Amino acid sequence: MLTIAHFSDLHYSDETLSEVDPCFRFAVDEAIRRSVDVAIVTGDSTDHALPAHSPAFAALARNLRRLADHCPVLLLQGTFSHEPPGLLRLFALLGGRHPIHVSDRIEQVALLDRGGWEPSATWRFTAVPDNARLLCSCIPTLNKATLTATVGAGNATNAMGEQLATLLAGLAPVNAAARAQGLPTIGLSHGTVRGCTTEHGVPMAGLDHELTTGALFAAGASAFMLGHIHKHQAWREGERLIAYPGSIGRLHYSEQGDKGFLLWEIDAHGARATHIPTPARRTHELVFDGAPDLATLSAFAAEHDLKGAWVRVRWSIAEEAAHAVDRDAIAATLVSAAGIKLEGRVLPVGRSRAAGMARTHDLRAQLATWAKATATDAAPLLACLHALEQQGPEAIAQQLLAAQVEEADLHAENGEGLWNRPWEPQGPLTA
């Protein structure tokens, strides 16, 4: 039985540092306190490219070094826009009592008895390495541009899922051999499982998601550890388990559920995982259709402990009533909150193109005003308006049809019917 601390989606940057660093420090402290055997980060350790002198880069390096002083560490490549290719390799140079392995290609990696990592020369081992304690199948974020260049843009969406399903099935024989030797086997990937739920409660039900639970279970691993989705969720098949730990901290308003990491217990037959919450910030959101109601805000502040919480107030209001929003009063009502974000959406008033139209409620007068401003004869328009007011749709339609019949009869009397037109071919002629 191995105990593994599984972290994901740290999103270190100078902008997020005040949230993610306390959460990750807590998680590392907890992993060390619980004496985990291995630590794994399944992608998006950073939020974007970081200069080496940035406070966020130094803070992340310190925590990874603390982990490496306690146990072997494996870092999986995440989304390229968050972790530019090559960035993670710098952390492998940190040193420490145990090695840090960076997996940025499709491969299998074995954790050996002596504590080192042994990667496969190709995408998988042909045989389980001697003295292995753990077998990891690593599938980092893949470059869809390469696949698109091969199969075409129209086929790339489905082709990615098909290729990954074939790849996962190809890992099954090696995983089965490892399990037969009593070794724990795990899979690691950074991507979207079809049917998972985002941190905002939105189901990812499209056909363009690269992973399915069926394909992941087909790899034959005791556990599959995922990254990319910020909400903790899991799927079980017998003793085997697939799970996202979710993001380490709360980076957006309205995110659902606790933030944290997973503590895994894994053997050759299956896995169990416990979600350990981190001290992520608490957030609240209030939405108003119109100006924010101060009484409602006061009641909310009285009912909730806002100390240390972050509150966002959103509203939509017409342009002519925008002056009714008192931002200072809103902030004073929520003064105990750690942070307040006010987002008002002003709905512009539609301006009439003819002066005077908006000052009358009579439709005839509005029509006459518009016709005068645009130099248009108002008589036919007023006649149509009168017909709409006095007759039903069927009666108007019958009148229009009768007028068309009279016009056709008149053309016929003058010899202007369709039958007097010269014949023109309507398609290709054949012999």
Q: How far apart are CA 249 and CA 25, in angstroms?
A: 11
**CA distances to 165, 170, 283, 289 from 293, in Å:** 53, 60, 19, 10
Phi and psi angles of residue 269, each rounded to the nearest 5 degrees, phi first? -100, -25
**Radius of gyration, CA atoms only, the chain:** 33
| Structural contact between residues 6 and 262, judged by C-beta atoms closer than 8 angstroms | yes
What's the pLDDT score for residue 427? 46
Residues composing the chain: 431
Fold adopted by 2-277? Purple Acid Phosphatase; chain A, domain 2 (3.60.21)
What is the per-residue pLDDT for 426? Answer: 46
Per-residue pLDDT of the chain (431 residues; tens, 9 = 90+): 999 999 999 999 999 999 999 999 999 999 999 999 999 999 999 999 999 999 999 999 999 999 999 999 999 999 999 999 999 999 999 999 999 999 999 999 999 998 899 999 999 999 999 999 999 999 999 877 766 666 666 666 677 888 899 999 999 999 999 999 999 999 999 999 999 999 999 998 765 557 999 999 999 999 999 999 999 999 999 999 999 999 999 999 989 999 999 999 999 999 999 999 999 999 999 999 989 999 999 999 999 999 989 999 999 998 888 888 999 999 999 999 999 999 999 988 665 556 666 677 788 888 888 888 778 898 888 888 888 888 888 888 888 888 777 776 676 666 655 444 444 444 444 44
Q: What is the domain partition of the chain in residue ranges?
A: 2-277, 282-347, 362-415
The alpha carbon of residue 137 and the mean position of all alpha carbons in its chain are separated, in whole angstroms, by 25
234-271: burial string, b at 16+ Cβ within 10 Å, e else? ebeeeebbbbbbbbbbbbeeebebebbbbbbbbbbebb
What is the pLDDT, as a whole number, of residue 110? Answer: 98
What order of strands is seen across the sheet that includes strand 100-103?
A: 100-103, 73-76, 38-41, 2-7, 260-266, 271-277
Q: Quick one: pLDDT at residue 13?
A: 97
Residue spans of beta strands (DSSP E) within 140-280: 185-190, 223-227, 233-237, 240-244, 260-266, 271-277
∠ CA 160-153-203, rounded to 5°: 50
Residue 205 burial (CB count, 10 A): 10
Provide the H-helix boundaries in 34-183: 55-70, 144-151, 153-180
Question: Which segments of 262-377 does DSSP mark as H helices, in order?
Answer: 294-303, 327-333, 363-373
Query: Can you give the pLDDT at residue 399?
Result: 84
The pLDDT assigned to 362 comes to: 82
Nearest to 215 by CA among 273, 248, 166, 253: 166
DSSP state of 211: B
Reported pTM: 0.78
φ and ψ at residue 279, rounded to 5 degrees: -80, 60
Q: What is the pLDDT of residue 419?
A: 44
Cα–Cα distances (Å) from 283 to 227, 313, 338, in that order, read 23, 11, 10
